[in-house]
């Protein structure tokens, strides 16, 4: 039975159902319970935004608060995964990757390869990303391309509640290390989600909107912004196809290329810093494999090459909005040699 | 000539959630003579692509909606009228409609039927009921629609409302399908039949006109043989159970398909025109298949249906044991269960073959199938 | 717990295997045939043997870049190790890891680690898994004096305490982190005392004395198995060879290594200790010496003649499935 719930509830449900399903699934993170060692209640927070609320009450010791010690607990999640558990660790803000990157980059990602195929490291690291709430430079970044770059890791970026639950359940059942990027502004977004457990395979993009004139490829929060732009453009007879890759590693090349073969025009919308982000990666893919089909240069809609600013007036200029997307689409739609 | 002879061709409502459709292509031109049931215009919704049929005979006087237009359910597509009717009269009717018509999306969705659930034994079954037929059940038993393998009650989206004009209509998600419980027991046709009889008991349906499609047809036949008193008539559409051959490649392929491309290829086999399979339809079936327990349920059901590449010995030679009236409806181009299974049945079995339809004639030629069903049910009761 | 004759002979075999293995690699590396970096454990054998004599196959260890000794003591196949160091497809990691990432999870060896301080967090994880699954297994992290300064080590000591994990942390302090003396780089006077500050039992032992290590490790491991939480052991050891092969060790005093070999060799010390009672004769040990030599000889010969991994192997085992 599908019903409307929030992205946050969808994540909680995925964790809850998998923990019920499999005793080797454990959770760890900072304040994911809240109240550990203190005199008041346990489950005081259920995570900084309440996402894991209720899970400690159901599963007790399998849900563990950690000290603020990312390299130790992310490393512990990795070591526990290589030792037969299926841990889901929460890295509160993806910006904190700096203090635990080795455990993900040099350890988790590489065990299977370095150890000649003997290791399995089924760890999931969930992390918040994205700008827009004035959290400033160290709490607003979108570093998914950095993890995508690393062979041995899988990276997912769900943009809506249905995808969030299905991709996270898939991630927990997956036997490789997976990093799940959740945009902080999407947690209250709503969508239809089946009550039952279900999965979504990695490497399958979602064609959110069909259209024959311009292909827009967008991730996370940028999917909704692209749909806004597409509505406005449709009024002028420009029909956009909006593709949400959903997972950046593996990436669904086929769906992207098929669409660009059809439209000949591509706009990629990426909230991450412009150098070496997913937009550059997908641009190269399209330029290399769909060159003959292109009728216009590929456009990328990204923030400028700056840290994320604090003041709202600046942050609103920083993050790509529907207007900027529209402008880029009109440019490629109107382009002729 | 009265305005009554001017027939408005409007956007139909297919299924529970449709609020509008997009005109893809006109199949006939202004000025063409058309018969009732002729396909006039191709329309695409999010879920499906199909054709709107002429509701009456006459001349297609106006094609109002243009190709590419999105029209609300109930909105005007065109006008059919007798050859002699003056143009100005038709124009006035069109104008009047345009002024009066306000597509009310909430009303459209709210007015649509909503599904309900009932607990039968250990299972929860989803169903849809339409038609508040007041006449006593004994005089006018309801119709009970049973979908096929891998389908759900939405397979009847073109049939439920038209049929509800004359009868109460129930459409059910069989166990393991749609939103009903995933437990299919041993997956045998008998197990499904027992579940359906349980449903009838729970809903206080003493007897019904059974309408079964494909696998659902075998289930319906099983019920008619096991509990003859519960069946007023039985309509079998592209039914299993009437011969040995079945496209096992489709069944295996459907169960195995995990990605869009593979599933699209399989779903295409169901229709004489594979273009009817929209991306949204494929995505909806994919979402269904990805729910925990569904693939196992489908696999279990397939074993109940097929053994060593052939249908399990069925009911072809037992139809004579069924006292209730039987009809079979089949698409000429059925690629799943061959149309030959409709041939050579007893003379008392009414047989309708629909040219240019595949395995889903209740979708591909809804008008014709609805007529055959309604007519048959009326005769069986009367 | 007293060790019987068989056990003592086995321990001698373990230490001697490590010694001959490492000395042989030292010689072969100089010919240029072995690729990449190797970091040799010769001189520190009593530490690995003393700890591992208290462990089972199901217990887990994580090592440093200087991992050959830990591997051998834990029971990883010597021939497979040699082949791995030679970069052959018959290696324990199919030639994909090499000396610095040598591992065998089936033997509970979670790998040598190319990242200083990489092991302790992983061991917290392995210990957590044992605790959650209720197996009574323990996990041991080996670190050097260098890694004892790394943030990951400190964080792991705290996390193991906070979560009461069945873990043991063994710092093999050989006095040098690469070319820098621990007298310079370790701020505290004692690595063990510093660890005690995290809230766990911590001792410092003479790493040349197998029995001292064995006893301290035995207590710590029993404590962990009994659910009483983590412990720390500082084993004071000395390495004979450089940080890496190719390191001339000019940062060490003249005669420092010669002196150690002559006067403080841990295998000599063990030999003396076990032959005094008369239960074990030198001849018994010499028999083992011959076995070990034969084993290493054939391991090298096999490694040399084994095929190297090819283009097909390059792309395998990145993921379980992609």
Query: Which element (helix H / strand E) includes B316?
Result: none
| pLDDT band for position C319 (cuts 50, 70, 90) | very high
Q: Which of A29-38, C45-54, C207-216 has the lowest mean pLDDT?
A: A29-38
- Same domain as B242, residue B180: yes
Residue C322 resides in a domain: no
Contact residues on chain A for C156, CB-CB shorter than 8 A: 72, 75-76
Query: Which element (helix H / strand E) includes C176?
Result: strand C176-177
Q: What's the confidence (pLDDT) of residue A35? A: 85
pLDDT in tens, B220-230: 999 999 999 99
Residue C194 resides in a domain: yes
| pLDDT band for position B138 (cuts 50, 70, 90) | low
State which of B52, B81, B109 marks the end of a domain: B109
Higher pLDDT pick, B56 / A329: A329
Q: What's the confidence (pLDDT) of residue C95? A: 95
Q: What is the CATH number of the domain that holds B60?
A: 2.40.50.100
A128 pLDDT exceeds 70? yes
pLDDT in tens, A186-244: 999 999 999 999 999 999 999 999 999 999 999 999 999 999 999 999 999 999 999 99
B1 pLDDT exceeds 70? no
Instruction: Name the 3-class secondary structure at C304.
Output: helix
- Same domain as B198, residue B93: no
- Same domain as B88, residue B210: no
The percentage of residues in chain C with a pLDDT greater than 70, rounded to a whole number, is 100
Residue C150 resides in a domain: yes
The region, left, alpha or beta by phi > 0 then psi within -120 to 50, assigned to residue B329 is beta
ipTM of the complex: 0.91
Contact residues on chain C for A120, CB-CB shorter than 8 A: 320
Mean pLDDT of C28-40: 94
- Same domain as B264, residue B125: yes
Q: What is the CATH number of the domain that holds B155?
A: 3.40.50.1820
Question: Residue B305 in contact with residue B311, Cβ under 8 Å?
Answer: yes
* CA dihedral angle for residue C226, residue C227, residue C229, residue C234, rounded to 10 degrees: 20
Q: What's the confidence (pLDDT) of residue B136? A: 62
Neighbours of chain B (3+ CB pairs under 8 A): A
* B98: its two tokens: 């345009």
- Same domain as B121, residue B92: no
State which of B109, B125, B148 marks the end of a domain: B109
* C194: its two tokens: 């510093």
Q: What domain range is C232 assigned to?
A: 5-314
- Same domain as B191, residue B131: yes
Question: Residue B342 in contact with residue B321, Cβ under 8 Å?
Answer: no
Question: Residue B186 in contact with residue B304, Cβ under 8 Å?
Answer: yes
- A68: number of Cβ within 10 Å: 12
Q: What's the confidence (pLDDT) of residue A90? A: 97
- Answer whether C111 sits within 8 Å of A111, measured CB to CB: yes
B236 pLDDT exceeds 60? yes
B98 pLDDT exceeds 80? no
Q: What angle do CA A73, A74, A75 make, to 5 degrees?
A: 85
CB neighbours of C184 closer than 8 A, spacing ≥ 6? none
User: Cα–Cα distances in Å, from B137 out to B134, B210, B338, C30, C35?
Assistant: 8, 14, 36, 97, 88
Number of domains in chain B: 2
Q: What's the confidence (pLDDT) of residue B104? A: 58
Residue C321 resides in a domain: no
Q: What's the confidence (pLDDT) of residue A92? A: 95
| pLDDT band for position B60 (cuts 50, 70, 90) | very high
- Same domain as B267, residue B187: yes
| pLDDT band for position A34 (cuts 50, 70, 90) | confident
Q: What domain range is B14 assigned to?
A: 3-109
Question: Residue B36 in contact with residue B57, Cβ under 8 Å?
Answer: yes
B100 pLDDT exceeds 80? no
Domains and CATH numbers, chain A: 2-194 (3.40.50.970), 206-333 (3.40.50.920)
Mean pLDDT of C205-225: 98
B274 pLDDT exceeds 60? yes
CA atoms within 13 A on the CB side of B75: 21
Token pair 């029209």: residue: B71
Distance CA(A72)–CA(A75), nearest Å, equals: 5
- Same domain as B315, residue B184: yes
Residue C207 resides in a domain: yes
Distance CA(C270)–CA(C48), nearest Å, equals: 14
Q: What is the pTM of this model?
A: 0.89
Question: Residue B117 in contact with residue B124, Cβ under 8 Å?
Answer: yes
- Same domain as B38, residue B90: yes
Distance CA(B288)–CA(A305), nearest Å, equals: 43
- Same domain as B326, residue B343: yes
The percentage of residues in chain C with a pLDDT greater than 90, rounded to a whole number, is 93
Beta bridge partners of B351: B328
Token pair 């994911």: residue: A32
To the nearest whole number, what is the mean pLDDT of chain C?
96
Number of domains in chain C: 1
- Same domain as B171, residue B241: yes
Q: What is the CATH number of the domain that holds C294?
A: 3.40.50.970
Question: Residue A318 in contact with residue A304, Cβ under 8 Å?
Answer: yes
- Answer whether A198 sits within 8 Å of B287, measured CB to CB: yes
CB neighbours of B333 closer than 8 A, spacing ≥ 6? B272, B339, B355, B356, B357, B358
Number of helices (H), then strands (E), in chain B: 11, 18
Residue C320 resides in a domain: no
Q: Which residues of B277-314 are buried (b: 16+ CB within 10 A; e: fewer)?
A: bbebbbbbbbbbbbbeebbebbbbbbebbbeeeebbeb
Beta bridge partners of B41: B26, B52
Give the burial class of C319: count Cβ atoms within 10 A of its Cβ; 0-12 exposed, 13-18 middle, 19 or more buried: buried
User: In angstroms, how far is the first alpha carbon of chain B from the final one?
Assistant: 36
Annotated catalytic residue A149:
no
Q: Distance between alpha carbon A62 and the CA centroid of its chain, in Å? A: 25
- Answer whether A79 sits within 8 Å of C128, measured CB to CB: yes
Distance from CA of C204 to the nearest CA of A (A): 24
With CA atoms as reference, the chain C residue closest to A249 would be: C322
- Same domain as B122, residue B247: yes
- Answer whether C317 sits within 8 Å of A112, measured CB to CB: yes
Distance CA(A166)–CA(A184), nearest Å, equals: 18
Q: What's the confidence (pLDDT) of residue A199? A: 98
User: Cα–Cα distances in Å, from B358 out to B109, B156, B342?
Assistant: 30, 15, 14
Contact residues on chain A for C227, CB-CB shorter than 8 A: none
Instruction: Determine contact: B119 vs chain A, CB below 8 A.
Output: no
Instruction: Tell me which residues of chain A, numbers 226 to 285, contact chain C at a CB-CB cutoff of 8 Å.
Output: 250
pLDDT in tens, C15-30: 999 999 999 999 999 9
Mean pLDDT of B266-279: 93
pLDDT in tens, C257-305: 999 999 999 999 999 999 998 889 999 999 999 999 999 999 999 999 9
Neighbours of chain C (3+ CB pairs under 8 A): A
Question: Residue B316 in contact with residue B218, Cβ under 8 Å?
Answer: no
| pLDDT band for position B134 (cuts 50, 70, 90) | low
């Amino acid at each position: 039975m599908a019903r409307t719930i929030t992205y946050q509830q969808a994540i909680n449900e995925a964790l809850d159902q998998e923990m019920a399903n499999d005793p080797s699934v454990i959770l760890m993170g900072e304040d994911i319970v809240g109240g550990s060692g203190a005199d008041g209640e346990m489950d005081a927070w259920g995570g900084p935004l309440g996402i894991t609320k209720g899970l400690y009450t159901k599963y007790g010791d399998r849900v563990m608060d950690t000290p603020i010690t990312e390299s130790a607990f992310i490393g512990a999640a990795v070591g526990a995964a290589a030792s037969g558990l299926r841990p889901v660790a929460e890295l509160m803000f993806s910006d904190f990757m700096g203090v635990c990157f080795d455990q993900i980059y040099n350890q988790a990602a590489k065990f299977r390869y370095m150890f000649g195929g003997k290791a399995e490291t089924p760890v999931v690291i969930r992390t918040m990303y994205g700008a827009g709430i004035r959290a400033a430079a160290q709490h607003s970044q979108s570093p998914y391309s950095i993890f995508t770059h690393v062979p041995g890791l899988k990276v997912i970026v769900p943009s809506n509640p249905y995808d969030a639950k299905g991709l996270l359940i898939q991630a927990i059942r997956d036997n490789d290390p997976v990093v799940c990027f959740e945009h902080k502004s999407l947690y209250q977004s709503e969508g239809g989600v089946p009550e039952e457990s279900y999965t979504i395979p990695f490497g399958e993009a979602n064609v959110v909107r069909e259209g024959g004139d311009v292909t827009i490829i967008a991730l996370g929060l940028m999917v909704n912004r692209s749909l806004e732009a597409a509505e406005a453009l449709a009024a002028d007879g420009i029909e956009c196809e909006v593709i949400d890759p959903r997972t950046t590693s593996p990436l669904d090349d086929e769906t992207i290329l098929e669409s660009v073969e059809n439209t000949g025009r591509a706009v990629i919308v990426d909230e991450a810093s412009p150098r070496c982000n997913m937009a550059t990666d997908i641009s190269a893919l399209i330029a290399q494999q769909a060159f003959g089909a292109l009728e216009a240069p590929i456009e990328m809609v990204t923030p400028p090459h700056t840290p994320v600013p604090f003041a709202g007036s600046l942050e609103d200029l920083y993050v790509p909005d529907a207007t900027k997307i529209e402008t880029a689409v009109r440019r490629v739609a109107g382009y002729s040699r | 000539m009265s305005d009554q002879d001017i027939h408005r061709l409007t956007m139909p409502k297919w299924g529970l959630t449709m609020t509008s459709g997009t005109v893809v292509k006109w199949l006939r031109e202004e000025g063409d003579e058309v018969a009732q049931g002729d396909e006039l215009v191709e329309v695409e919704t999010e879920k499906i692509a199909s054709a709107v049929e002429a509701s009456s005979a006459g001349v297609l006087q106006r094609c109002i909606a243009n190709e590419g237009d999105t029209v609300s359910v109930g909105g005007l597509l065109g006008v059919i009228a007798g050859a002699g009717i003056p143009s100005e009269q038709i124009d006035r009717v069109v104008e009047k409609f345009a002024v009066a018509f306000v597509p009310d999306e909430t009303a459209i969705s709210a007015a649509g039927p909503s599904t309900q659930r009932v607990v039968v034994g250990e299972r929860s079954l989803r169903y849809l009921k339409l038609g508040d037929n007041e006449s006593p059940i004994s005089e006018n038993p309801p119709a009970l629609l049973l979908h096929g393998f891998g389908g759900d009650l939405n397979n009847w989206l073109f049939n439920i409302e038209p049929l509800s004009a004359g009868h109460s209509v129930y459409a059910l998600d069989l166990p393991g399908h749609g939103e009903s419980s995933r437990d299919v027991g041993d997956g045998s046709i008998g197990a499904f039949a027992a579940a359906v009889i349980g449903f009838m008991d729970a809903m206080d349906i003493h007897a019904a006109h059974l309408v079964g499609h494909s696998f659902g047809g075998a289930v319906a036949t099983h019920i008619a043989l096991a509990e003859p008193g519960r069946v007023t008539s039985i309509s079998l559409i592209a039914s299993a159970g009437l011969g040995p051959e079945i496209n096992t490649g489709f069944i295996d392929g459907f169960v195995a398909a995990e990605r869009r491309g593979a599933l699209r290829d399989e779903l295409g086999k169901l229709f004489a025109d594979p273009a009817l399979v929209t991306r949204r339809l494929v995505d909806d079936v994919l979402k269904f298949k990805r729910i925990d327990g569904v693939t196992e349920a489908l696999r279990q059901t397939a074993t109940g249906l097929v053994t060593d590449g052939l249908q399990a010995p069925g009911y072809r030679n037992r139809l004579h044991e069924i006292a209730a009236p039987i009809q079979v409806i089949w698409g000429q181009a059925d690629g799943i269960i061959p149309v030959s299974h409709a041939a050579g049945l007893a003379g008392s079995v009414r047989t309708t073959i629909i040219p240019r339809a595949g395995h889903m004639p209740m979708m591909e030629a809804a008008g014709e199938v609805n007529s055959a069903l309604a007519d048959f049910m009326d005769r069986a009761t009367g | 717990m007293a060790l019987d004759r068989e056990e003592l002979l086995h321990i001698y075999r373990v230490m001697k295997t490590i010694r001959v293995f490492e000395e042989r690699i030292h010689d072969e590396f100089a010919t240029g045939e072995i690729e990449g970096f190797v970091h040799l454990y010769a001189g520190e054998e009593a530490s690995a043997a003393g700890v591992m004599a208290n462990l089972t196959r199901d217990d887990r260890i994580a090592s440093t870049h200087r991992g050959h000794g830990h591997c051998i003591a834990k029971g990883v196949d010597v021939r497979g190790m040699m082949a791995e160091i030679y970069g052959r497809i018959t290696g324990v990691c199919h030639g994909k890891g090499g000396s610095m990432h040598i591992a065998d999870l089936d033997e509970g060896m979670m790998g040598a680690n190319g990242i200083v301080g990489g092991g302790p967090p992983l061991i917290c994880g392995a210990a957590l898994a044992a605790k959650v699954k209720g197996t009574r297994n323990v996990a041991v992290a080996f670190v050097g004096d260098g890694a004892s300064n790394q943030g990951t080590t400190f964080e792991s000591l705290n996390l193991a305490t906070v979560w009461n994990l069945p873990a043991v942390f063994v710092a093999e302090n050989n006095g040098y982190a690469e070319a820098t003396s621990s007298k310079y780089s370790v701020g505290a006077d004692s690595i063990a005392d510093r660890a005690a500050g995290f809230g766990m039992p911590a001792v410092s032992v003479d790493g040349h004395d197998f029995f001292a290590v064995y006893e301290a490790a035995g207590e710590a491991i029993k404590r962990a198995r009994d659910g009483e939480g983590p412990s720390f052991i500082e084993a004071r050891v000395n390495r004979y060879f450089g940080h890496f092969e190719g390191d001339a060790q000019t940062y060490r005093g003249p005669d420092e290594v010669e002196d150690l070999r002559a006067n403080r060799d841990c295998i000599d010390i063990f030999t003396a200790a076990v032959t005094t009672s008369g239960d074990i004769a030198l001849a018994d040990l010499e028999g083992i010496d011959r076995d070990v030599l034969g084993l290493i000889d054939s391991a090298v010969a096999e490694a040399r003649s084994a095929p190297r991994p090819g283009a097909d192997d390059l792309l395998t085992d990145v993921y379980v499935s992609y």
